[in-house]
A and B are shown apart, each in its own frame.
Chain A
Amino acid sequence: MEELGRIHQLIVPMFGYKVVFNLETIVMTWIVITILTLFGTLAARKRNMIPHAIQVIGELFIAQFGGLVKDALDDDEMAKKYTPLICSLFLFLMLSNWLGIIPRLEEPTKDLNTPLGLGVLGFFIAHYAGIKAKGIKDYLLGYCEPFFFMMPLNVVGELAKVVSISFRLFGNIMGGSIIIMVVSYLTYSVLLPPFLNLFFGMFVGTIQAFVFTMLTIVYISVQVK
């Protein structure tokens, strides 16, 4: 049980600073990226009016998410612009959360840095979209609502969004894996841990990936409106 909360790190001294690499997370992230790239190439290869199986999956998926983005943003042009981002975000998160089902592989989302990075990415995209849609003056005036002196709290509120979106994903995935670990340590059972693993990996993982993606769309749409 001592390995609770400990991760394998590679610390490289560089220019007087210590640069830390979380090796496991990097390797697992690359595995996810490779699988997604393979899926993408297979789905887009030999596109045809009569689609093959993988192309059907890809098309269904993009149509679904395109609809979601369009509903939230209420604007065809902008929806077209953000659909690819939203689709890849969801696919990456879902596959990352599913990765833990396979023994010896770890979810990259279990490391806080991954969700935090994606949360910061979403934050910047949302604010860029907001500035672009409203202009810098209206964007800044938005912080002074309802009164001018509420500005610091509005700023904290915006930053808190990043914290809550990334810690939600991290807490769920980390919590799931710790519960599985403790249960398998307590029971030595063959049946229960794989079942829990499947529940937390497939069910909770998919829901959390969807929630993260939906919130990113919603944050963009709040900034744009």
Chain B
Amino acid sequence: MAIEGADIVKAAAFLGASISMGLGAIGPAVGEGMVAAKTCEAIGKNPREAGLLTRTMLVGQAVTESTGIYSLVIALLLLFVV
């Protein structure tokens, strides 16, 4: 059974995409969880600023998530472009 080079490259691209997205998802999620956790704590201490805190939380999480989005972009590139 001759295995073609293109086949192996494709298989590697699939595995690479999955490792990129899988491992890349761990960090941002833990980080975003910490952001939201501290927000809950802060709202408990100072409920009057709930709106401001929620907005800050969302912006912070959006920035934290950027590495997750890089992983997503790389995974999609590996799946569809390479």
Contacts and interface: CB of A to CB of B under 8 A. Distances in A.
A42 interface: no
Contact of A157 (B50, B51, B55, B66): B66
Interface majority SS on A: helix, strand, loop or mixed? Answer: helix
A207 to B, nearest CB: 16
A224 to B, nearest CB: 10
Contact of B51 (A71, A153, A160): A71
Contacts of A71: 50-51
Contacts of A221: 55
B23 to A, nearest CB: 18
B50 to A, nearest CB: 7
Contacts, number: 26
Interface string B52-75: 001100110010011001101100
Contacts of A74: 51
Contact of A218 (B58, B65, B69, B73): B58
Interface residues of A, number: 11
A160 B69 contact: yes
Interface string B40-52: 0000000000110
Interface in A186-225: 218, 221-222, 225
A205 B73 CA distance: 30
B29 to A, nearest CB: 12
A225 B65 contact: no
Nearest to A150: B66
A86 B65 CA distance: 26
A4 interface: no
Contacts of B69: 153, 156-157, 160
List the 3 closest pairs (A to B, CB-CB), nearest first: A157-B69, A160-B69, A74-B51
